Amino acid sequence: MKTSVRCSTSDNLKRLPPLSQSRHGDMACETLYVCKHVQCARVGESGPAARGTEIHQVLATYINHLVTTTRAMDLEAFDALMRNASTEAREVLEKFRDNHAFDPEKILATELHIALDENFLPVEHPGDDGQIADYEGTLDLVMLHSLTEAEIDDWKTQGERTRQRKLHELSSSGGRDLKVSPGRHCTWCPLLLNGCPVAETNPYGQMTAEERLRFALWLQEAEKQNTRVLKELMVEHGPIRYRDENESEYFACFVPIEKKFYPYQDCISILDEWFRTHPDERGVRDNLTISGLSSALKAEKRADLSQKLSTIVDMRVETELRIGREGRNGSKERGS
């Protein structure tokens, strides 16, 4: 491995860093974890990480504003904060905008860092001069529903802390080769561009824009062939399962999926009666749409109906990733 900065192994074993959500994520690939947290490689911030930080900052500022003004929602303030955000961050924030209201009286803090010892008891002033915490994390939002009790979901078990410690010891002893597990953590891995043991086959490796598109086209065809083989294997052997180093289990199997359809001619009278007797449900009524019309209205014999409906249509433009062949007229054909 080629890294720009290294720390002494003995120093790292003495100062085993607390287990956090981000470090636990890095543990999905032993090579990545050792590189970042044992050998102390310099790591540049990835695009997704920068976007996440930006979103958290906007939301924290917004919620702190609600506490200061004792308001449950302030869309004008939210829009002002969102205008200064990047395009990628705004796409996420817009989904948050109308769906969240808060009780300012119950909000304790935003972006609150906490540290716990091995028994999950609070550690005050953790650091080089004080007690080293076993677990740490930053809570996006802390709301008090009780003055005497607090509950934190999704903390990792002590078994994961033991596995973290063993990774440090393994790096020191060299007992076996470190495992390499490609995944989304590759997007921020410092070894990706120089030193990844599986760089030649790792799809997160460095490529030019044209190479990335060419690879995407290859993946489309490879996925078709791989899915066909997977289906044949499942027909013969049943569900297929795989467990990664974080004990996350993945599967491939056939599952029934329920899809509900409400015939227009049968449900329209039921809906009319419901909305007549429940005037407070106006918001539901205003958001109802009819699916299946777009395809039907393409028929030439329904041109007049299409023209009449065009006066009430709610046109929404959404961006999607499309990979395929460019048509002769400049149109973008969807890949197979």
Q: Return d(Cα 231, Cα 235) in angstroms, integer.
A: 6
Give bridge partners of residue 136 from the DSSP assignment: 115
Q: Return d(Cα 189, Cα 180) in angstroms, integer.
A: 12
pLDDT in tens, 91-102: 888 888 877 888
Q: Return d(Cα 77, Cα 98) in angstroms, integer.
A: 13
Task: Give the percent of the chain with pLDDT over 70.
Answer: 84
Using left for φ > 0, alpha for ψ between -120 and 50, and beta otherwise, residue 154 falls in: left
By mean pLDDT, which of 169-178, 265-274, 299-308 is the weakest?
Answer: 169-178
pLDDT band of 156, cuts 50, 70, 90? very low
Task: Sketch the domain layout of the chain as residue ranges.
Answer: 1-200, 209-252
**According to the model, what pLDDT value does residue 262 have?**
86
pLDDT band of 281, cuts 50, 70, 90? confident
> In terms of C-beta distances under 8 Å and separation of at least 24 residues, what long-range contacts does 85-90 make, across chains too?
85/54, 85/55, 85/58, 86/51, 86/54, 88/47, 88/51, 89/51, 89/54, 89/55, 89/58
Q: Return d(Cα 89, Cα 48) in angstroms, integer.
A: 10
User: With contact defined as beta carbons under 8 Å apart, do 86 and 116 qualify?
Assistant: no
**pTM (2 d.p.):** 0.54
Residue 67 has pLDDT above 90, yes or no: yes
pLDDT band of 126, cuts 50, 70, 90? confident
CA-to-CA dists, residue 233 to 130, 223, 228, 238, 253, angstroms: 56, 15, 9, 7, 10
pLDDT in tens, 186-241: 877 777 767 788 887 887 776 666 887 888 899 899 999 999 999 999 999 999 99
Tell me whether strands 107-116 and 135-143 are parallel, antiparallel or unpaired. antiparallel
